[in-house]
Amino acid sequence: MDPRTPSTSAATLSSMSANEDNLEGRRAIKLTTIEEARDAVASSRHPVNVIVLPPTAGDSGDDVSDTEYVPDDPEEEFEPAGELEVEEEVDTEEVPRQRTSKKARVVTPLWKKTDQFDRPLPSTQIPPSDEIQSVGEMSAFEVWKKFFSDAMVEHIVIHTNLYARRDCNNKTFGASKKDIENFLGIVMLSGYHSLPHVQHYWSTQPDMGVPLVYNTMSRNRFIELKKYIHFADNQKLTKGDKLSKVTPLYDMLNKLLAQFGVFHSLLSVDEAMVPYFGRHSAKMFIRGKPIRFGYKIWMLCGNDGYPYHMSIYQGKDEQASKEPLGTRVVMKMVDFISANSAAHAHELYFDNFFTSYDLLVKLADNGMRATGTVRQNRVAGATASMLSDTALIKKGRGSFDYRSDGKVYVAKWNDNSLVTVASNWQTHNPVHKSKRRIEGQRRDINQPDLIRSYNNGMGGVDLLDRLSSAYRPSIRGKKWYWPLFVNILNVATVAAWRIHCKATRKSLTHLEFRRQVVLCLLQGDRQEERTRARLPAGELSQLPDIRYDGINHTLGTATQGRCRVCQRNTKNICQKCNVRLHAERGKQNAYRVLKTIKYSVCCCAKSISLPERDQPPPFLDLP
């Protein structure tokens, strides 16, 4: 085994020399130690040569010397100066084929100016639902309970008590189902009866306090419930779920939203925002939106704003597939539609955040008809052969251009600005007429059919946002999950109202529907009016304009209390100012006798001291 043999160069041994006649070849294995070479020869079927290769130029490095290196342990295995190669004969059929590139071949669609599809997508009608019709015979509160069920209330009761007693060590705390319902009613009431602060609902002032609230629950009890309210077991939170404190409640609501199936033919996917200004890793910022800071929720809604499914976005998922985020969101909603209805019975609409050529092709394979606005760099080159933006604008409003490859149709339309729309089932035919104000006059312009369909089908999520924000509860909390809990109340109420409107001919307004639900939550099962604790009178009764107006200040009797001036006990009370006071000048019937006098004062005459300009006129002497 002479390493200087010219016929066995390193380049030759590194390559395969296949013999096409006998289908045999050779391959070489590079090794670094003699022991490895010995094992390779023993395990090889057809060993041919064992060759020692000299070190390549430059391997010796900068520390080249004439000193001989001898290892400390002679039995220790050491590396030779070069490399060892074991050459063996192999069958070429066993030689692995050269690996091809893992990168998928990019197929460019062939775009033509046509409105034909290679595979038209079928469509069917959605049959009427008997369950929805049965809702028409229910009251507003009964409909609401179908979306915020007793199971959800019991879930809140269990985890609220668990958190208070175990995690906060408050052994005396106990919340019942009725307590939680009263709590929900007060929170919902704050949506259409807003006050500057939550404690004002229990104020004694006539322009602040709400009798419906303070006759139902005390202020301290409400604050205590708000402090301990919980929706999950803190010791069993899902690892990796940033929102696991509210996830169980959202899962329950999603099931209730789908209890009637998917009964809208026009569906839309979009994002909704829940306002939140605190700190949380799932909080998002979206520039240009009405709600810039808050939690982002992916929504599937009907065109009238009825919500079908919600999914809270928690940020980038490292374990997600390589597909774009918009594609993953839409496909998740399509899976929900397919599980609760037939995909070909619906039309799906979304905006340019989601739309792409690949997504529309994928939806067509699943039988789902879809249309959406699209960015020009996501249509696989469809706009390259269309009229340029400048040329289309010069042609005037209503002009459009289109292309199709048989799978996806793309149209670019000029309205007050250019918009590009793509669809896997719709084209511009038939072209409609739409009114626009041009140069001060209303004129008809052309509008492609898929543009009109998009306007009719899209916007369900925005409508839900508008309905939710109209009476969003104003009671705020410090916990990061409080806005998400309030959003559950809001979405459940809007869903119940939309079902009520669909099932009833004489439907209630949104406000009236909420009022009926709140009244049932606060007044239901209440046997008698709650006795209020004694609260101090507010500052309103001390206003000089009221004390000295001389109108309807009559003296009455009530339970014994402290005089407003001298702090002694008395049963006399001013029926207008609602404060205890002694009769003036010792006359017990002074107010009743002097009620015809135009000027009166609600206090002991001997105890009051007023500026000269505020002195009341002297009282008449009584006989």
- 525-541 pLDDT tens trace: 654 455 554 444 544 44
**Given this model, what pLDDT does residue 430 score?**
94
And the tokens for 563? 């005089």
In whole angstroms, give the CA distance from residue 350 to residue 454: 9
Q: Residue 368's closest CA among 354, 351, 348?
A: 348
In whole angstroms, give the CA distance from residue 73 to residue 75: 5
Residue type, 427: T
Residue 103 φ/ψ region, left for φ over 0, alpha for ψ in the -120 to 50 degree band, beta for the rest: beta
In whole angstroms, give the CA distance from residue 179 to residue 157: 9
Cβ 449 vs Cβ 426: under 8 Å: yes
Confidence of residue 623 (pLDDT cuts 50, 70, 90): very low
Cβ 432 vs Cβ 447: under 8 Å: yes
Give residues with Cβ within 8 angstroms of 469, minimum separation 6.
none
* pLDDT, tens digit (0-9, with 9 covering 90-100), for 189-210: 999 999 999 999 999 888 899 9
Calculate what percentage of the chain has a pLDDT beyond 70: 74
Checking if the pLDDT of 555 tops 90, the result is no
CA dihedral defined by 457, 461, 465, 466, rounded to 10 degrees? 0
Confidence of residue 106 (pLDDT cuts 50, 70, 90): low
Q: Residue 503's closest CA among 169, 154, 146?
A: 146
Calculate what percentage of the chain has a pLDDT beyond 90: 58
And the tokens for 281? 């890793």
- When mean pLDDT is compared across 175-184, 301-310, 420-429, 579-588, the lowest value belongs to 579-588
Q: Residue 327's closest CA among 361, 359, 353?
A: 359
HSE-CB at 72 with a 13 A cutoff on CA atoms is 0
Question: What's the whole-model pTM score?
Answer: 0.72
- When mean pLDDT is compared across 96-110, 452-466, 506-520, 566-580, the lowest value belongs to 96-110
Three-state secondary structure readout of 193-208: CCCCCHHHHHCCCCCC
